[in-house]
Amino acid sequence: MSTPTRFRSLSLIFSLVLMEFTSFGMIIPLSPYLARDFGADDLEVGLLMSVYSLAQLLFAPLWGYLSDRLGRRPIILTCLFGSSLFYLWFSFATNLETLFLTRILAGTFGAVMSVAMACIADVTGEKERSKNMGLVGAAIGLGFIIGPFLGGACGFLGRQWGSEPPFGSSFAAFGAFLVCVMNLLIAFFFLKESFVKSDHSSLSVKNILLNIKKIHQSRVQQLFLAIRYPILKKVLSMYFILTLALAGIEASLFLYVRDKLDWSHFPASIGFTYIGLMMVFTQGFLVRKLIPALGEGKTVMWGLVIAGIGFAGVGMTNWLWFLTISVTLLCLGYGLASTCLSGAVSLLTSKEQQGGIFGVHQSLFSLGRIMGPALGGWFYRDISPSSPFYISGLLAIVALLVGFSLRNGFPQKGKMKVS
């Protein structure tokens, strides 16, 4: 593939992922507010965020398997069409049951990122692949900045135009639908097939189910393989604990600012935009400056300390300035620790095992995002509004204690890969 063609393909993939996560980012601040308006308790608000991640975990292997046999383009188009349909349905929802159904179905079709990464692998050589995979992370981060801002603006406009869905706050979901439709049209007219192999011989329902079962079994086998190595087991444990801590406060944070500070959907969306900015700054810039100076091990440990303070600080706040400081610390600490832990997984794994171990890494991330919101909503409802943040702070301390037991097992100062 020529350099100009490859550049156009990578630019288009970046655009597709950016718009997908922009629409997703428009929904995140909206979901807890709509769920509360439709009578959900705090646990149900958390579950609403969990079911999307659960459906995505279960069905992403299906789309990956089909893209290897039918090509990337038809699968991306199918997923974008499904996402568009269910964002539209979400925007017209008038009850909690519809919210749950549309989020489950949206998660089922939410496989654009994994297939987009396969597209990048199709059009780039091995030497450039890791660098170009960073485009996906950059697009996700930018989407989480643009999305909440657009969602808040759409919700504000929707309240000026009416109160019944799809107007009112629900207009943010309608805006996400429009973004997703634009994404679908761009993909339909400009996305070229990057994987020429076509294999329809194994597309019976029986074979599809059998292969999906094998993929999930392989994940479990890789997990058991990973825990045979003490250092790698501890690094993966720290990553899972930190992911669980952050996911545990996502739904609760929106409930908290609504109940404590009387924030509407619009300021909550702007606040989430700030979180996206801080995450991009930390993971894209700050971590690259600190690792050469401190080394990976110290950066992880300090990140966990700062994140723990930030988690607990949010639970103590009754003032905007204190909340801003606490959220800033939370983002800085999480960004530093999670980035370094992901890099440590790569450095502690042989080249032959990278794919399988990173599959375990991604599965643990997904598991944390499934468990966290539900647990956070449960604690918020049955213990206290501040409890999810204190518990997440304790989880950061647990990860820190695990880190103390393996600090000498981290790569040496200055040898961390950050590209």
Q: Which domain holds residue 386?
A: 214-419
The residue to which tokens 């599959």 are assigned: 359
CATH number, domain of 112, equals 1.20.1250.20
Q: Using CA atoms, how far apart are residues 416 and 262, in angstroms rounded to an integer? A: 44
23 found inside a domain: yes
What length is written for the chain? Answer: 419
Q: What is the 3-state secondary structure (H, E, C) of 349-373?
A: CCHHHHHHHHHHHHHHHHHHHHHHH
Are 256 and 375 in a shared domain?
Answer: yes
Residue spans of alpha helices (H) in 111-264: 112-123, 126-161, 171-190, 205-226, 230-260
Q: How far is CA 206 from the centre of its chain?
A: 31
Instruction: Assess whether 277 and 397 both reside in one domain.
Output: yes
- Same domain for 270 and 178: no
Contact predicate 103/42, CB 8 Å = no
Selection from 254, 12, 216, 1 nearest residue 122 by Cα: 1
**What are the DSSP calls for 295-343, one per residue?**
-HHHHHHHHHHHHHHHHHHHHH--SHHHHHHHHHHHHHHHHHHHHHHHH
Structure tokens at 191: 């996305």
Return the closest-CA partner of residue 363 out of 61, 43, 142.
Answer: 61
Residue 12 lies in a domain: yes
Instruction: Name the amino acid, one letter, at 69.
Output: R
ω into 166 cis (within 30 of 0): yes
Whole-prediction pTM value? 0.87
Element (H, E) at 59: helix 42-70
Final residue belonging to a domain, choices 143, 159, 192: 192
Rg of the Cα trace of the chain?
21
Note whether 151 and 267 are same-domain residues: no
DSSP 255-301: HHHHHHS---HHHHHHHHHHHHHHHHHIIIIIHHHHHHHH-HHHHHH
Q: Are residues 154 and 238 in the same domain?
A: no
With respect to residue 109, please indicate whether it lies within any of the assigned structural domains: yes
- Structural domains counted in the chain: 2
Residue 87 lies in a domain: yes
Q: Is 359 found in the same domain as 224?
A: yes
**Statement to judge: residues 181 and 102 lie in one domain:** yes
Q: Is residue 199 part of a domain?
A: no
Residues 227 and 158 in one domain: no
168: left (phi over 0), alpha (psi -120 to 50) or beta: left
**pLDDT by position in tens, the chain (length 419):** 566 677 788 888 888 889 999 999 999 999 999 999 999 999 999 999 999 999 988 888 788 878 888 888 898 999 999 999 999 999 999 999 999 999 999 999 886 777 877 787 777 766 666 566 667 777 888 999 999 999 999 999 999 999 899 999 999 999 999 999 999 999 999 988 877 665 555 667 777 777 777 776 777 777 776 667 778 888 889 999 999 999 999 889 999 999 988 999 999 999 999 999 998 888 878 888 888 888 778 889 999 999 999 999 999 988 889 999 999 999 999 999 988 887 777 666 665 565 566 667 777 888 999 999 999 999 999 999 999 999 999 999 999 999 888 756 565 444 434 33
pLDDT at residue number 37: 92
